[in-house]
Amino acid sequence: MASFRLRNVSVEFPIYQATYRSLKKLVLAFSLQGDRAREDSDRIHVQALTDLTLDMEEGDRVGLIGPNGAGKTTLLKVLAGIYAPTGGQVHSSGKISSLLDVKVGLNPEATGRENIILRGMYMDVHPREMRAHVDEIVAFAGLGPHLDMPVRTYSAGMAIRLAIAVSTCIRPEVLIMDEWLSAVDERFLERAHRRLGDFIGGSNIVVLATHSMTLLREWCNRAILLDQGRVVVNGSVDEAIDAYHALSTAQ
Query: Same structural domain for residues 71 and 19?
Result: yes
The two beta strands, 43-56 and 3-16, are: antiparallel
Same domain, 198 and 243: no
Q: For residue 34, give its domain range.
A: 3-94+211-250
Are both 69 and 156 inside the same structural domain? no
Tally of CA atoms within 13 A in the half-sphere of 76 that contains its CB: 22
Residues 162 and 137 in one domain: yes
Altogether, the residues listed in the chain come to a count of 251
Per-residue pLDDT of the chain (251 residues; tens, 9 = 90+): 899 999 999 999 887 655 545 555 555 555 554 444 444 556 677 899 999 999 999 999 999 999 999 999 999 999 999 899 999 999 999 888 887 876 676 899 999 999 999 988 888 889 999 999 999 999 988 888 899 999 999 988 888 889 888 888 888 889 898 876 555 666 777 787 788 888 888 889 999 999 989 889 999 999 999 999 999 999 999 999 999 999 988 76
Number of domains in the chain: 2
Q: Which residues contact 236 (CB under 8 A, 6 or more apart)?
A: 222, 223
- Cβ distance 70 to 216 under 8 Å? no
Is residue 59 located within the same domain as residue 21?
yes
- At 23 the three-state DSSP class reads helix
Do 75 and 60 lie in one domain? The reply is yes
Residue 72 phi/psi, 5-degree rounding, is: -65, -50
CA neighbor of 176 nearest in space, from 2, 1, 34: 2
Regarding whether 112 and 166 lie in a shared domain, the answer is: yes
Per-position DSSP letters for 225-238, written without gaps between them: EEETTEEEEEE-HH
**What is the domain-level CATH number for residue 30?**
3.40.50.300
169 plus 194 within the same structural domain: yes
pLDDT confidence of residue 106 = 83
